Structure 1
Amino acid sequence: MNLCLFDLDDTLIPLDSDHAWGRFMIRQGWVDAEEFDRQNDVFFAHYKAGTLDIHAYIAFATAPWRERPASERSAAQDRFMQEVIAPQMRPAARDLVQHHQQQGDLVAIVTATNEFVTAPIARAFGVAHLLAVELEKDPGGNITGRIAGVPSFREGKTVRTHEWLAALGHKLQDFERVSVYSDSANDLPLLEMATDPVATNPSAPLEAIARERGWRILRLFD
């Protein structure tokens, strides 16, 4: 068995699902549009620059919806998938995931976006294993706005991957080939533990690194 790990945003889909969810909440009237948009764009710029405070971002990003009724949250998830995500799920990305699955690879999506936003997307791709930012819940099951455990961001992606493999009774050395697909230099720690790192729709910084190191460059959305 081989291992295949996919980043999600700008890798399997040509947008950032977290940022898009923020825009979606504006359209729902859940937030003050001008102020939320301003803060959301600042956090997004920090993510792109590799300077994001993931804990501050999760507190901000979950505040508009975490106290809403479960039925309202679920309905919004469904609409977001139908209106925003589904039209961006391109055949090339679906085919790539299915290719690895049909080879018998152990496949996971490893993303710095939280589980509320990304769980429906992973299901839509037919990927059973999702390593996303996990949201802490209080004893009553309410989301607190804090992160549970290690966030799957930068070096945290490698920590979460090793924890997940151990829970399945595996370790990285069990796999002859480890493929990692990502667009972002934020994922260098994950890419560097792969035997087959693939810079996928790469940002300019990651493309420069990939060319220097001789990594494969894949453009799914051209």
Structure 2
Amino acid sequence: MSLAIFDLDNTLIADDSDFLWGQFLVDRGIVDKDQYEQANKKFYEDYKHGTLDIVEFLHFSLAPLAQYDAEQLYRWRAEFVETLIEPIMLEAAQALVEKHRAAGDTLLVITATNRFVTEPIVKLYGIDNLLATTPEFIDGRYTGKFNGTPCFQQGKVAQLNDWLANSTETLAGSWFYSDSHNDLPLLSLVDKPVAVDPDEKLREVAQKANWPIISLRK
């Protein structure tokens, strides 16, 4: 039995949930279309190029949560998951998760997208363990701020190490599945890194390191 770690966006699902949530807010008129949509696209391009300022992005992406009460946000989130996420869930990804579950492995998703967006998505795959940036929640409302270390690049390693320190799990025999070069710090840490439908930079690194390269899209 080992630890099987999965990235979420463009790994277990066929798109980026953070970007899609922003587009959902735009399409529903919840945020200003021109200003928010342009910034959302720019941040996503920065992410793909490895130049994202994660703190700046989190201030941007979490700000709408502070503008509405939690129950309204949860209703919008349920609609978002049903209409935009369920159609991009991947049968091959679910099969991979079930393969590790059947082997007795501990399942963990670690994602740069915040917990508010990702928690219900991860539950759709039947995975109980999630590491993600946690939006601050005080007196029944989101504040637009976040707690702790952003779960991005080296921050994923930091969050994982904290989680391991408070569990009985180890990295012996561990797996990590990811599509993004932003995850190279964590891919380099586990025993069995796997590039999943990788971006160009990750594919190049994986080929040089002889890491497995797989697709969950076919």
The TM tier, using the shorter chain, reads: over 0.9
Contact 1:5–1:109 (CA under 8 A) maintained in structure 2: yes
For the pair 1:152 / 2:151, whether they are aligned, the reply is: yes
Structure 2 gap segments, 5+ residues each = none
Contact 1:23–1:37 (CA under 8 A) maintained in structure 2: yes
Contact 2:62–2:145 (CA under 8 A) maintained in structure 1: no
2:65 corresponds to? 65
Contact 2:6–2:178 (CA under 8 A) maintained in structure 1: yes
Contact 2:70–2:142 (CA under 8 A) maintained in structure 1: no
Structure 1 gap segments, 5+ residues each = none
**Runs of 4+ residues deviating >6 angstroms:** none
> What TM-score does the superposition give when structure 1 sets the normalisation length?
0.95
| DSSP 3-state at the match of 2:130 | strand
1:23 corresponds to? 23
Deviation string 1:108-162 (CA, Å, 9 cap, x unpaired) is: 0000000000000011110000001111234x24322222111110011111111
Contact 1:93–1:220 (CA under 8 A) maintained in structure 2: yes
Write out aligned runs for 1:181-192 (5 A): 181-192=177-188
Contact 2:133–2:146 (CA under 8 A) maintained in structure 1: yes
Shift of 1:17: 0.2
Contact 2:69–2:141 (CA under 8 A) maintained in structure 1: no
- Aligned residue type for 2:203: E
Deviation string 1:98-117 (CA, Å, 9 cap, x unpaired) is: 11111111110000000000
2:108 corresponds to? 108
Q: How many residues align?
A: 218
Write out aligned runs for 1:59-208 (5 A): 59-138=59-138, 140-172=139-171, 175=172, 177-208=173-204
1:54 corresponds to? 54
For the pair 1:211 / 2:180, whether they are aligned, the reply is: no
Structure 2 Cα separation of the partners of residues 113 and 190 of structure 1? 16
Structure 1 Cα separation of the partners of residues 61 and 4 of structure 2? 29
Structure 2 Cα separation of the partners of residues 67 and 42 of structure 1? 22
Contact 2:181–2:202 (CA under 8 A) maintained in structure 1: yes
| DSSP 3-state at the match of 1:66 | helix
Contact 2:151–2:159 (CA under 8 A) maintained in structure 1: yes
Alpha-carbon spacing, 1:137–1:75, altered in 2? closer, same or farther (3 Å): closer
Structure 2 Cα separation of the partners of residues 142 and 20 of structure 1? 23
Q: Name whichever of 99-108 and 64-73 sits farther off.
A: 64-73
- Aligned residue type for 1:150: T
Structure 2 Cα separation of the partners of residues 40 and 182 of structure 1? 22
- Give the RMSD, CA atoms, in angstroms: 1.2
Structure 2 Cα separation of the partners of residues 185 and 146 of structure 1? 26
Shift of 1:193: 0.8
Contact 1:55–1:146 (CA under 8 A) maintained in structure 2: no
Shift of 1:194: 1.3
Contact 1:200–1:219 (CA under 8 A) maintained in structure 2: yes
| DSSP 3-state at the match of 2:208 | helix
